[in-house]
């Protein structure tokens, strides 16, 4: 067991650690999402204005949170990677990207499903929706950029710069409902004021959000293990693992 947490920045020590963490986060994710979905369909009360259709927010809002949060985490890993020149941080950013893109797409898609009965339209060119769409393009651009650079070191650092440039978009998404007075409603959950929302609804949403957190961590760890094996295939410890499985 390494005595110092920084020793986990080496792929060789991180690989087994990630392997031990994956089952825990997978189980937590399955339990929380199952409980969250049950509560959102059967426990949370019917909304007095929007009826049953509002229940999609229990997926929509946590997915939108995750889409922004994962981008920030990737940008954070990019800073770590550029400053300390650590290989693993670029691998973490790369492992998170597909999950982030998926949550961005889910946020947009569930928003469209909610928008059709409530607003009467699948899509509006509102500030928050447009900036969330840009976020999806940023994720896809990042994936395309690192995919098309053969030199790993250059790809890691080019991806890091792209992520840091795109980070400007995150506060724009977050504050868009306050800065522009367009169709998307303002946030109901506030840090600094009383939440104007039924308590059961709030709890359900938080359970779903924690479930999505656990899911993201589990999937990212599984993916980063594959990336480590691919990239470090020349190292002797990887040869041993691959040899064991073959």
Partner 1 sequence: MLNALFWIIRRDLIIAMRRRTNILTTLLFFIIVVSLFPLAIGPEIATLRLIAPGVVWVGALLASMLALSQLFEADYQDGSLEHIILSPQPLSLLVLGKVIAHWLITGLPLAIVSPILGLQYALSNDVLLIMIYALMLGTPILSLLGAIGAALTLGLHSGGVLLALLVLPLYIPVLIFGAGAIEATASGLGGMAHLSMLGAMLLVALIATPFATAAALRIVSD
Residues interacting with partner 1, by CB under 8 A? 130, 134, 137-138, 140-141, 144-145, 148-149, 153-154, 157-158, 161-162, 164-166
CB of 56 or CB of 127, closer to partner 1: 127
CA distance 226 to 221: 9
Please count the CA atoms within 13 angstroms of the CA of 139 that sit on its side-chain side. Answer: 25
Shortest distance (Å) from residue 142 CB to partner 1 = 9
Euclidean distance between the first and final Cα of the chain, in Å?
Answer: 27
CA distance 80 to 88: 10
Closest to 67 (Cα-Cα) out of 116, 133, 22: 133
Shortest distance (Å) from residue 144 CB to partner 1 = 5
Shortest distance (Å) from residue 149 CB to partner 1 = 6
CB of 53 or CB of 98, closer to partner 1: 98
CB of 13 or CB of 169, closer to partner 1: 169
Closest to 68 (Cα-Cα) out of 175, 219, 212, 170: 170
CB of 39 or CB of 68, closer to partner 1: 68
Shortest distance (Å) from residue 234 CB to partner 1 = 20
Strand, coil or helix: 106: helix
């Amino acid at each position: 067991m390494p005595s110092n947490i920084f020793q986990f920045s080496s792929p060789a020590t991180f690989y087994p650690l990630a392997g031990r963490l994956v089952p825990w986060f997978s189980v937590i994710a399955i339990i929380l999402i199952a409980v969250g979905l049950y509560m959102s369909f059967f426990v949370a009360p019917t909304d007095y204005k929007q009826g049953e259709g509002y229940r999609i927010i229990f997926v929509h809002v946590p997915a939108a949170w995750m889409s922004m949060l994962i981008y920030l985490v990737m940008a954070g890993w990019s800073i770590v990677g550029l400053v300390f020149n650590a290989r693993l941080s670029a691998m973490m950013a790369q492992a998170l990207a597909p999950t982030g893109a998926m949550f961005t797409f889910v946020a947009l898609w569930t928003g469209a499903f909610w928008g059709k009965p409530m607003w009467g339209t699948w899509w509006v060119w509102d500030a928050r929706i447009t900036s969330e769409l840009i976020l999806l393009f940023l994720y896809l651009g990042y994936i395309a950029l690192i995919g098309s650079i053969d030199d790993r070191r250059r790809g890691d650092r080019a991806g890091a710069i792209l992520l840091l440039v795109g980070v400007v978009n995150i506060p724009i998404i977050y504050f868009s409902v306050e800065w522009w007075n367009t169709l998307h409603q303002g946030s109901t959950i506030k840090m600094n004021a009383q939440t104007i929302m039924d308590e059961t609804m709030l709890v359900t949403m938080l359970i779903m959000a924690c479930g999505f957190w656990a899911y993201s961590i589990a999937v990212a760890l599984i993916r980063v293990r594959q990336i480590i094996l691919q990239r470090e295939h020349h190292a002797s410890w990887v040869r041993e693992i691959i040899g064991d499985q073959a």
